[in-house]
Structure 1
Amino acid sequence: MTKLKQVLYLLAGLALWQHAIAQPAARVKAAMGKVQLQFDLDKEGAPQYAVWLGNQKAILPSALGLVLQQGALNKGFTLLSSTTTTTDTTWQPVWGEQANITDKHTQVVVHLQHQSTGYLLDIVFRVFADGVGFRYQMPQQKNLLHCVVTDESTAFRLPGNYKAFWIPGDYDTNEYEYTTSRLTEIDNTALVKNSTDIAVRVTPDNRSVQTPLMLKGDDGLYINIHEAALINYPAMQLHVSADSLLLRASLVPDAYGNKAYVQAPFHTPWRTIIISDKATDILASKMILNLNEPSKAGANTSWIQPMKFAGVWWEMQTGLSTWSYATAPDNTDAQGHLIPSGKHGANTANVKRYIDFAAESGIPGVLVEGWNVGWEDWFGNWKENVFDFVTPYPDFDVTALQQYAAAKGVHLIMHNETSGSATNYERNMDTAFRFMKQFGYPAVKTGYVGKIIPRGEHHDGQWMVNHYERVAQKALQYQVMLDAHEAVRPTGLQRTYPNWMACEAGRGNEYNAFTNNGNAPEHETILPFTRLMGGPMDYTPGIFKLKGYAAGAPDRQLHTTLAKQLALYVTIYSPLQMVSDLPENYRAHPDAFRFIKEVAVDWDDTKILEAEPGDYVTIARKAKGKPDWFIGGITDENSRVATVNCSFLEKGKQYQATIYEDAANAHWKNNPEAYHIRTVPVNSESKLSLPLSAGGGVAVHIALK
């Protein structure tokens, strides 16, 4: 070969290489285990993706993109390049369901350029062995800085008419009863209209549902759709299309109908798709946690202490006492002082009674609600300046109670109800947290009951999402643990802010107190697959008096057995677990109460033993730093037998299992408080058959002999 030909071949090869760099293929693939991802640009330059589990289609080709006031970024793209990296690390949460969490994924970043505007947009995919997460990233660029997001083109096209476990896509509440139906049957109109026990309801789209959304296909495929790391962005809901095969992202708007105000560089939250052919794998997934940023708490986290707590709360919920000191704000004497009603629950003597109960039971905390001035004059009034978060009622002695609790080895837990006035709370946050530190409160429960102020904003919109994060940051600054009620549903941010330990953000046990509907027997078997996918829930379990507990409603009852209330301490995870019932109701069942006193709230390991959404859940957890295991099993309205293989126990060691189970004649409606306790020897080769009555459960404590 002549030198001229060599040069010509070299130049031709170089040209082909340069062309390949300039015109990359418009298809990108990635996989981890059985999960496969494919990204494409269609003939119109519209980005789309698809997901498989092995040979099973999970998400059919579905749209991607953002719509900005500055222009629609959902088609007309060119693929500039893509990068692929892999990660395989292990990290240790401050607290949680496992002592060690593995983060193993393949990341693909596709770099796009909009042909007509020149705007740059990256889409980041992370493929795990149990699903896919993706988000949009707007790089810093000269011609696009401040952006208003008006919509998101994200879609999830399903291969069939899946069974769905859903609640309405409401802008202001997550506290609906769950409906189980086919996607074709979703219409939230009647449920929203009839849910008069929920104070604020805003659901303009009758075919919208909340995430986490749990789905099950006829082919046995389970799909869970949610989001991770929700920061500086509104919550994502899902609109179900007319043919019910397409779920489209629907963002909660602000007062002007816009969705988000951002500045490049920025990124959206992750959209998460967890997939398996086993329901237990859905509950075992740590993908949402892995998609959140590491802890911002620093090296010293010793002040973050998972705990159980009692509280002056259930007696208020059931009408035995009140949050308010007087019957009305204008019920005053000649000097203008409120006239006490005689039913105020947060009085010094009554709080001391709860402190005594906590001390004798080994319960570290006591939550006191209704202690501060303002409760007579806010509910339903949309009033901005209600509470100052530091002024007690005349019958609540802050100093004396702090000293009394400290002498008993008990911590008082603060309650800051904002009445939905987030503006007022932000003005007073430093004052409120300084007050907590002054009087030794290690944790605070916040509340947002009512319509939000700033007026026109919603609980789940961008402004409030940022507010909740600001509260978590302020609590971190003052070293206070946070339990947020009526907040947006969690998205794994407890990894980033480990002091943000729990949320309500769902239909809790309290609904059994003030409505006859309460929570259906299947409710707690759905929650782990929906609300709990994003993080711990302050469900307030542990009610022992299951009938006739509500003042003025003698026929009201919980839709569970007593044994199921014990099991909830294991199946519904929270590092802050309330011991919710009245002290006298626990003293009436000292043998059953023993399980609540002994059950852990922080864990080294978790095994999902059996699970089927809407039917049953059985979970085993190993206590942090101890050899003890605790098992919780619950069922819906149908009785069943939970089968527990004890292979998770350490081989060669002998244990004793104390089993708290439904009595043979127990039934959630007719005989809910009937239970039986037995002990059996077990080891790693043992198998336990545990009967669960209708609406019932079983709780087991396994300890070394």
Structure 2
Amino acid sequence: MAGRVLVVLCLSWLSQQVRAEEIKSPNRNLTLNFSLQAGGVPTYSLTYKGRPVIKPSHLGLELKNGQALTNGFAVTSSKTRAFDETWTPVWGETKTIRNHYNELTITLTQAATKRVMLVHFRVFDDGLGFRYDFPKQPELAYFVVKEERTQFALAGDHKAFWLPGDYDTQEYSTTTSKLSEVRGLMKTAVTPNASQTTFSPTGVQTPLMLKSQDGLYINLHEAALIDYSTMSLDLDDKNMVLESHLTPDAQGNKGYLQTPCLSPWRTIIVSDRAGDILESKLVLNLNEPTKYKDVSWIKPTKYVGVWWEMITGKSTWSYTNATNIKLDSTDYSKLKPNGTHGANTAHVKEYIDFAAQHHLDAVLVEGWNTGWEDWFGQSKDYVFDFVTPYPDFDVQELHRYAASKGVKIIMHHETSGSVRNYERHLDTAYKFMADNGYSAVKSGYVGNILPRGEHHYGQWLNNHYLYTITEAAKYKIMVNAHEAVRPTGLARTYPNLIGNEAARGTEYESFGGNNADHTTILPFTRLIGGPMDYTPGIFQTKISAYNPQNTSFVHSTLARQLALYVTMYSPLQMAADLPETYNKHLDAFQFIEDVAVDWDDSKVLEAEPGDYITIARKAKGKPNWFVGSTCDEQGRTSTINLGFLDPGKKYVATVYADAKDAHYEKNPQAYAIRKVSVTSKTKLTQYCAPGGGYAISLVPSAGK
């Protein structure tokens, strides 16, 4: 009898270990498998058209106190459901988005602790999202995360487009290599930044773009990052296994949670076509619908600004050259102006005039407020109050003047990394904006974070970023956050988050330059989670033209700068160069004036990460299409089919292209503009210079 009982118990235990669940994507190309391995270890795997994408990989979290939530589990229940909806974004790359997936939910109970953890898997036609769910329970109320132990076991030594893992910055050049080469290249990949904290010789950031030797394109990221630490990935380069690595706080803890609670989604986008990665809406679909009932005040925006002249060193943010400034005791009217301050009333009016003349929506002004003189690198808590202008900046007059021209002014809040100081002044600053006609703010988080020891990408800071967005919404203010965490699709839920930086933008062209392939990679990496305020449109590529001491140059032809308005999607687009330069090239500037910032449709015509991207987009509510193409330092000939145009209609195509002798280093300003008549049956062939590209506007012919 005892032997029979033992056999039954063993068989019962074994059934739990081998119990497996399978679910497929709606088109059945992707298959997700879940199982418990020996010891009750939750494990998943993913295949695409029968080819392995993720080999069996472990799931779970390690806690600071108590037994880890990584093993000892039994499957209590499982359920599946299908979901299919179409929703309309407030702004976006397409007019509508389909959210179609099959879902598997596994309920796990840890025998030794009676703790319950659910894992939700959603399989879309273009990938997989999964997250942890901790229901309210007496056995698990408050807990501290030591580390998340989610694995991504890869099927090979893939080609990777990676950034060094860092708790404080993503402003690195992308390194392209095999995963096995990451360790050897890490030292040169880590370049100086105002705030940086790398954590591993094989640590990399997400979004991580991969390409397998047999031609699978794989992207790893996260979605709906709320009340949780940012995930990086640590590579076991012997076994090609990536494991989650969360950003710690000042005490080294990775997260503080209270049930019921959810982790962010972990995302895997996969296809055998590179363009599918760019067209994926998986990350957006894993976020919740908008929280706002009224979104009429959220407007896609095209703008110029008093910014590039400071970045290049032509002018300054600060009003004086004084040092040892204390904001609460300094009378700026008694200080000698330095004569190089950019944000003065007369100069800002020149930008407003240019914006009005060329039908641009707004002017960004940086350096308008007191405190810029000596804060950088000083770890000062109270640097800015966000409401006090310098003596030469007349808030009321500029408000009146801009309004008379139909132009908005974009506020700038540099927090200097002092998050508690920003929150101290936040409501007053937003009210000041509302009172003076500012509907959007560019915020910055340059330098190490205060309170000291916190990191840009920790749970506490992520909660702060979201707090600023929701508080801004109370005043109908849009937010463009720089140096904040990279986006994870939260703009669906909070669409006043109209832009982010969180990568090396155009400003680095003045600090030594971005690689020529930079803009052929960013759409596959940084832009997967949301739009970037990349600030394109630089026509004067020699920085010395503005500042003789700066020998940097923009690693791009002028024609490619136009293409970026299409390939680098954002509802917030800056014409970043100076009006005086644009006035010398008004024929080329016409594309910037014409190009839309909100879209009804988008199609990837050509794409290969690190080499080239060509995208066509249809303007919101209009019949006009725009095409942009960018390539790397090799140059190429692009051939595209215009089959996306309405059949039977004729269009006038204005092509802004590299001249035959154009080159991003040797002859960047060489461009040619031509007009041709085209239809949906037309195929266009266009030369792209090294570091170059082209832009096309397509307008229906009159009377057709």
Q: Same fold (TM over 0.5)?
A: yes
SS at match of 2:437: coil
Deviations 1:44-70 (A, max 9, x none): 100010000011100000010011123
Distance 2:325 2:295 in 1: 46
1:482-501 to structure 2, matched below 5 A, reads 482-501=479-498
Distance 1:610 1:409 in 2: 38
C-alpha displacement of 1:550: 4.6
Distance 1:62 1:533 in 2: 23
C-alpha displacement of 1:555: 3.5
Check 1:23–1:528 CA distance in 2 against 1; reply closer, same or farther (3 A cut).
closer
Aligned residues: 682
Distance 1:473 1:71 in 2: 36
SS at match of 2:138: coil
Distance 1:446 1:409 in 2: 24
1:133-144 to structure 2, matched below 5 A, reads 133-144=129-140
C-alpha displacement of 1:554: 5.4
1:104 aligns with 2:108: no
Deviations 1:65-97 (A, max 9, x none): 011123200011000010100001100000000
Check 1:552–1:528 CA distance in 2 against 1; reply closer, same or farther (3 A cut).
same
2:8 paired residue number: none
1:27 aligns with 2:23: no
C-alpha displacement of 1:549: 3.4
1:15 paired residue number: none
Conserved? CA contact 1:24–1:80, under 8 Å: no
Conserved? CA contact 1:92–1:100, under 8 Å: yes
C-alpha displacement of 1:106: 0.5
Distance 1:413 1:54 in 2: 48
SS at match of 1:73: coil
Structure 2 segments unaligned to the other structure (5+ residues): 1-11
Q: Which amino acid aligns with 2:250?
A: A
1:14 paired residue number: none
Conserved? CA contact 1:331–1:339, under 8 Å: no
Conserved? CA contact 2:333–2:391, under 8 Å: no
1:539 aligns with 2:534: yes
Check 1:554–1:254 CA distance in 2 against 1; reply closer, same or farther (3 A cut).
closer
1:303 aligns with 2:297: yes
1:437 paired residue number: 434
TM-score using structure 2 length: 0.95
1:248 aligned residue (229, 243, 250): 243
Give % identity. 55
1:556 paired residue number: 552
Q: Which amino acid aligns with 1:263?
A: Q
2:596 paired residue number: 600
1:388 aligned residue (368, 385, 389): 385
2:179 paired residue number: 183
TM-score using structure 1 length: 0.95
C-alpha displacement of 1:617: 0.2
Root mean square deviation, CA, Å: 1.7
1:7 paired residue number: none
SS at match of 1:359: helix
Deviations 1:33-54 (A, max 9, x none): 2011000001210001000001
1:145 paired residue number: 141
SS at match of 1:644: strand
1:278-427 to structure 2, matched below 5 A, reads 278-298=273-293, 300-330=294-324, 337-427=334-424
1:274 paired residue number: 269
1:200-239 to structure 2, matched below 5 A, reads 200-239=195-234
1:9 paired residue number: none
SS at match of 2:434: helix
1:700 aligns with 2:696: yes
Over 4 Å off, 4+ runs: 22-25, 330-336
Conserved? CA contact 1:23–1:80, under 8 Å: no
C-alpha displacement of 1:644: 1.3
C-alpha displacement of 1:427: 1.2
Distance 1:77 1:165 in 2: 36
Q: Which amino acid aligns with 1:279?
A: A
Distance 2:362 2:300 in 1: 10
Distance 1:635 1:672 in 2: 14
C-alpha displacement of 1:189: 4.0
Distance 1:334 1:286 in 2: 52
Distance 1:331 1:607 in 2: 52
Distance 1:23 1:170 in 2: 39
Conserved? CA contact 2:17–2:37, under 8 Å: no
Distance 2:454 2:593 in 1: 42
1:463 paired residue number: 460
Distance 2:167 2:61 in 1: 21
Distance 1:413 1:335 in 2: 24
C-alpha displacement of 1:330: 4.3
C-alpha displacement of 1:335: 9.2
1:42 aligned residue (10, 34, 37): 37
Conserved? CA contact 2:332–2:390, under 8 Å: no
Distance 1:68 1:140 in 2: 17
2:122 paired residue number: 126
Distance 2:545 2:447 in 1: 26
* Stretch of structure 1 that moved more, 157-166 or 336-345: 336-345
Conserved? CA contact 1:24–1:79, under 8 Å: no
SS at match of 2:248: coil
C-alpha displacement of 1:155: 0.5
Distance 2:300 2:564 in 1: 17
Distance 1:237 1:569 in 2: 29
1:559-598 to structure 2, matched below 5 A, reads 559-598=555-594
Conserved? CA contact 1:330–1:338, under 8 Å: no
SS at match of 1:475: helix
Distance 2:333 2:567 in 1: 50
1:504 aligns with 2:485: no
Q: Which amino acid aligns with 2:534?
A: Y
Distance 2:677 2:404 in 1: 40
Check 1:253–1:428 CA distance in 2 against 1; reply closer, same or farther (3 A cut).
same
Q: Which amino acid aligns with 2:296?
A: S
Check 1:175–1:258 CA distance in 2 against 1; reply closer, same or farther (3 A cut).
same
Deviations 1:323-363 (A, max 9, x none): 01111334899998322111110011110111111111111
Conserved? CA contact 2:132–2:263, under 8 Å: yes
Conserved? CA contact 1:377–1:386, under 8 Å: no
1:643 aligned residue (633, 639, 643): 639
* Stretch of structure 1 that moved more, 616-625 or 373-382: 373-382
Distance 1:559 1:474 in 2: 39
1:16 paired residue number: none
Deviations 1:348-396 (A, max 9, x none): 1110111111111111100000000110131001111111000000010
Conserved? CA contact 2:107–2:116, under 8 Å: yes
C-alpha displacement of 1:398: 0.4
SS at match of 2:323: coil
1:4 paired residue number: none
C-alpha displacement of 1:684: 1.1
Distance 1:215 1:223 in 2: 5
Structure 1 segments unaligned to the other structure (5+ residues): 1-18
